[in-house]
């Protein structure tokens, strides 16, 4: 199994551009998450989803949007990129509440 | 928001030494998870704990779910160079479902192992 797959691995955006970070999982997990990781700050939750068609905000949702049209996919959209969104983004999935989450390899995004 | 406290931010040990890390919170957690992150990679699960008082081992790693449900520790015995990385604790709050479905992370401890 591939597990959680994120694309792209690296991206440089100009201020004001938009892009979608892709995340797919093949474990039939209901729960999916997007985190951002900044140096020394741990992982902060951006958005999460408990199933297809259901999404909710995490700690730091401003500047991002998500959708969950299928169980497998959970894309993260940046509409107007800002330098503050320079970070490493991780997608994760889990089979249910209070179970372990499995992570993708991350997308390193730089906004210049 | 709910916080998991990990300190210090960095630890430096000699190869072969044991090291202990703990994670505390003012909130009660249903699960405690310990992850390790290597440079350029996503976090990988080391140990999952689901019951208060549970003590679980995975090779040279041992972790415990605190009786109060507000803390957990991770021990690494006989450290080796490949133990280098960032160690995160994470947990799900009691009353899972809705906002408590989310997994909360500590800020992580960067472990360095001197040969």
Rounded CA gap, B92 and B73, in Å? 16
Residue A106: predicted pLDDT = 96
Residues of chain B with pLDDT under 50: 1, 99
Nearest to A29 by CA among A3, A65, A59: A3
Residue B97: predicted pLDDT = 53
Asked if B81 reaches chain A (Cβ–Cβ under 8 Å), the answer is: no
For B42-59, how does the pLDDT look when each residue is reduced to its tens digit (9 = 90+)?
999 999 999 999 999 999
Nearest to B102 by CA among A84, A45, A111, A110: A45
User: What tens-digit pLDDT sequence spans chain A (112 residues)?
Assistant: 679 999 999 999 999 999 999 999 999 999 999 999 998 788 999 999 999 999 999 989 999 999 999 999 999 999 999 999 999 999 999 987 667 889 999 999 999 9
Asked if A47 reaches chain B (Cβ–Cβ under 8 Å), the answer is: no
Rounded CA gap, A88 and A21, in Å? 11
Q: How far is CA B68 from CA A107, B25, B74, B85, in A?
A: 37, 10, 16, 28
Half-sphere exposure (Cβ direction) of A102: Cα atoms closer than 13 Å: 18
Rounded CA gap, B33 and B49, in Å? 6
CA torsion sign for B20, B26, B31, B35 is negative
Q: Which residue of A has its CA nearest to B93?
A: A98
Q: Chain A partners of B97 at a C-beta cutoff of 8 Å? A: 97
B22 φ, ψ (degrees, to nearest 5): -130, 170
Asked if B12 reaches chain A (Cβ–Cβ under 8 Å), the answer is: no
Residue A20: predicted pLDDT = 98
Q: Chain A partners of B31 at a C-beta cutoff of 8 Å? A: 98-100
């Amino acid at each position: 199994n591939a597990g959680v797959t994120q694309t792209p691995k690296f991206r440089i955006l100009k201020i004001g551009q938009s892009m979608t970070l892709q995340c797919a999982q093949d474990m039939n997990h209901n729960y999916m998450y997007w985190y951002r990781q900044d140096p020394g700050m741990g992982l902060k939750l951006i958005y999460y989803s408990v199933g297809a068609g259901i999404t909710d905000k995490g700690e730091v949702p401003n500047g991002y949007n998500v959708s969950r049209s299928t169980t497998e996919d959970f894309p993260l959209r940046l509409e107007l990129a800002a330098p503050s969104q320079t970070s490493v983004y991780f997608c994760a999935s889990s089979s249910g509440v209070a179970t372990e989450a499995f992570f993708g390899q991350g997308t390193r995004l730089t906004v210049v | 928001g709910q916080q998991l406290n990990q300190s210090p931010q960095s630890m430096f040990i000699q190869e072969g030494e044991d090291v202990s890390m703990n994670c505390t919170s003012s909130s009660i957690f249903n699960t405690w998870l310990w992850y390790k992150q290597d440079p350029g990679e996503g976090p990988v699960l080391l140990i999952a704990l689901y019951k208060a008082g549970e003590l679980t081992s995975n090779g040279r790693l041992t972790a415990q779910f605190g009786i109060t449900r507000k803390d957990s520790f991770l021990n690494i015995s006989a450290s080796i160079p490949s133990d280098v990385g960032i160690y995160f604790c994470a947990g799900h709050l009691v009353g899972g479902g809705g906002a408590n479905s989310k997994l909360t992370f500590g800020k992580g401890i960067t472990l360095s192992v001197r040969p």
